[in-house]
C-alpha cells in the first residue's frame, strides 16, 4: 500500500520563524511535489522534484525553498514564515513506470502562522 507521510498534521508558528515541513514516500517514486490548498484557490504547486537533488519551481515558489537529498524525502522550507503562508500544505509523489499517472498525496499539514 502506497504511503506518503508528512511530519505534522497541525503546526502553529510565529511570524519570522523558519519552518520545515517533511514528506516521505515509500514507493521509490521519482517525482515529488509540494502544494498549498486554500479555499477558492484549489491546489497550487509550490515546487516539485523529479530526481534526487533536482528541483523545479512551481506556480508560487516565492517565500519557499525545498530540499531533496534522498529519493524518499522531500522537504519544504519557509525561510521566514509570514501570516499569508497560513494554509494547508500537501505533499505528493508519482512514479514514472507502471501506473505513472496516479499521484499519491500525504494527509496534509495545516500550518497556522501567527
Partner 1 sequence: RKEVEQDPGPFNVPEGATVAFNCTYSNSASQSFFWYRQDCRKEPKLLMSVYSSGNEDGRFTAQLNRASQYISLLIRDSKLSDSATYLCVVNPYSSASKIIFGSGTRLSIRP
**Which SS3 state, helix, strand or coil, does residue 48 take?**
strand
Which residue, 9 or 14, has its beta carbon nearer to partner 1?
9
Instruction: State the residue for C-alpha cell 484557490.
Output: 41
DSSP state of 72: T
Residues of the shown chain interacting with partner 1 in the complex, contacts defined by CB under 8 A:
31, 33, 35, 40-43, 45, 48, 50, 56, 58, 90, 94, 101-103, 105-108
Rg (CA), the chain: 13
Instruction: Tell me how far, at minimum, the Cβ of 27 lies from partner 1, in Å.
Output: 14
Instruction: Tell me how far, at minimum, the Cβ of 113 lies from partner 1, in Å.
Output: 20
Amino acid at each position: 500500500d502506497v504511503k506518503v507521510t508528512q511530519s505534522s498534521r497541525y503546526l502553529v508558528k510565529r511570524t519570522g520563524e523558519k519552518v520545515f515541513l517533511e514528506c516521505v514516500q515509500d514507493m521509490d517514486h521519482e517525482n515529488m511535489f509540494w502544494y498549498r490548498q486554500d479555499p477558492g484557490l484549489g491546489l497550487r504547486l509550490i515546487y516539485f522534484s523529479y530526481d534526487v537533488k533536482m528541483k523545479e519551481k512551481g506556480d508560487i515558489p516565492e517565500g519557499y525553498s525545498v530540499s531533496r537529498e534522498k529519493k524518499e524525502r522531500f522537504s519544504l522550507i519557509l525561510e521566514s514564515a509570514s501570516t499569508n503562508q497560513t494554509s494547508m500544505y500537501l505533499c505528493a509523489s508519482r512514479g514514472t513506470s507502471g501506473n505513472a499517472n496516479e499521484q499519491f498525496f500525504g494527509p496534509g499539514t495545516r500550518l497556522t502562522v501567527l
